[in-house]
Structure 1
Amino acid sequence: MDYHDLLARLGEGSAHPGGFSATMQLLDALSLPAGLHVLEIGCGTGRTACHLARQGNQVTAIDLHRHMLDKAVRRARKERVDVRFIQADATALPLPSNRVDVVFIESVTIFTPWRKSLSEYARVLKPGGLLVDREMVLSGRKTELMSRRLRRFYGIRTLATVATWKKRLRGSGFSNVAVKEQSRTMGKWGVDHDPLREIDMNWLEDEQVQQMSRTNDQLLMRYGNRLGYAVFTARVPVEAEAK
């Protein structure tokens, strides 16, 4: 079992700073019009995808974890919204080029080979399309031991500063790169009541789960003051054409 298995079993679909409340605040600030084709990458249990669908958008949502997607599908049925869920990798999106208006991501890109994922985000967006990506960022000194521990436990593949992320986005073909939100600390994760959350109750007493929870707390205590987060927005240039 790894960290993502743990999140799936616990039904945690908003594992990022601020939780689902922060997601709602971000969407309110973006003021996206209805009727867009939105691709959510790393949809988890589908809470954000279902919200976007209720707002009148065409929503495609992908996640690599099958157990997460199963819970997302059941959520959409209970909420009676239409979301297209697909099991897929962020580095190989199963969509044609120039297809979506918005790519929405929260805490996914750091777990991927960033060159491939950013290239895929740019590919599937229409010219002028919007990328919104909330990611953990480096706000203090990084050591090899820190990188190794975070990768081993969380699966984090890349940890970079805000400036480096902006450079990477521009280098991947995006324009109008901006930072919508930024914090030098991770802050507290919001505890949101989710009436449709599915928790695999038999896992709560599992010793491995309890040990992983302790390890998570220890890592955040040790390295939390060097980690922050930022929300990046960027667009595919209007003159971009399908390759």
Structure 2
Amino acid sequence: MEKNYTDLLAALHIGGAHPGSLKQTKQMLDTVDLNKQSYVLDAGCGTGQTIAYVAQKYGCTVYGIDQHEEMIQKTRKRIAEIPSPVRVFKGNIEELPFEENSFDMVLSESVTAFTQVRKALKEYRRVLKPNGTLMMNEMTKIGHLEPDEQAEVKAFYGFSELLNQTEWENHLASAGFKQVESRMIPANKEAPGEVYRIEKLDRAYNDMLMYHQLLTEKYASKIGACSYISRLE
């Protein structure tokens, strides 16, 4: 089976591949009121860095879901000794296996852009409780891209569409989120400890990583990231 960008992230053992990493996650979480009675869903939990942090800091019930088997296995190892209630599921966030009004907060970090966005947002809305909060950190178009440039980015990452800030906000509003706060995330360079050890990857992953780094540099002025915090009325 042909490998994709998500397979690459799993192979690199990345804790937080989203822009701003765990520091950005903490800043977003500081804007909400979580406690031991809260139910939180990390939609696209990856290797579990965020759900481990939320469970340990807030002591709340945390669910994670991801469709990548290797990511799920790494998450289960990470959370094995956390005393707070943490559960991990394998599944598709476009068809969440949860009842309506299940969560006080849904968190999605550099995940929704890889889905059929409208479907995913409707699912987030469905599983959130009244007055619940959706927090996203997503790749966002910040400059003009020619059709061939958009095609190049979408083909590599597997995006169905590449959205600017206004388009993300419009999609959120269409899904039923009436209060949307969006903010661009400042670009930051990787810390020395996060430099990828590409010599340990096989050839396919090595080539994929090099191409990812090429695209990141090529479109640095045209593609960024934005946080979107949406509260239901």
Q: What is the TM-score with the length of structure 2 in the denominator?
A: 0.90
CA contact (8 A) 2:44 2:108 kept: yes
**Compared CA separation, residues 126 and 79, structure 1 to 2 (3 A):** closer
Q: Which residue is 2:218 aligned to?
A: 222
Q: Which residue is 1:50 aligned to?
A: 52
Q: Percent identity?
A: 34
Q: Which residue is 1:86 aligned to?
A: 89
**2:122 aligned with 1:123:** no
Task: Write the mapping of 1:134-145 to structure 2, written as runs, cut at 5 A.
Answer: 134-145=137-148
CA contact (8 A) 1:36 1:101 kept: yes
- CA separation in 2, counterparts of 1:145 and 1:172? 29
Task: Write the mapping of 1:208-219 to structure 2, written as runs, cut at 5 A.
Answer: 208-219=204-215
Task: Write the mapping of 1:193-208 to structure 2, written as runs, cut at 5 A.
Answer: 204-208=200-204
Q: Which residue is 1:9 aligned to?
A: 11
Higher RCO (CA 8 Å, separation ≥ 6 residues): 1
Q: Which residue is 1:113 aligned to?
A: 116
**2:164 aligned with 1:168:** no
Deviation at 1:29?
4.0
Aligned residues: 229
Task: Write the mapping of 1:2-41 to structure 2, written as runs, cut at 5 A.
Answer: 2-41=4-43
Matched residue type, 1:27: L
Q: Which residue is 1:235 aligned to?
A: 231
Deviation at 1:182?
1.2
Q: What is the TM-score with the length of structure 1 in the denominator?
A: 0.87
Deviation at 1:205?
4.1
Deviations 1:180-233 (A, max 9, x none): x314x643345667xxxxx9x998241222211211111112112101111111
SS in 2 for 1:233: strand
Deviation at 1:106?
0.5
- CA separation in 1, counterparts of 2:192 and 2:179? 33
Deviation at 1:82?
3.3
**Aligned partner of 1:70 among 56, 69, 73:** 73
**Compared CA separation, residues 10 and 74, structure 1 to 2 (3 A):** same
Task: Write the mapping of 1:181-192 to structure 2, written as runs, cut at 5 A.
Answer: 181-183=183-185, 186-189=187-190
Segment drifting more, 91-100 vs 210-219:
210-219
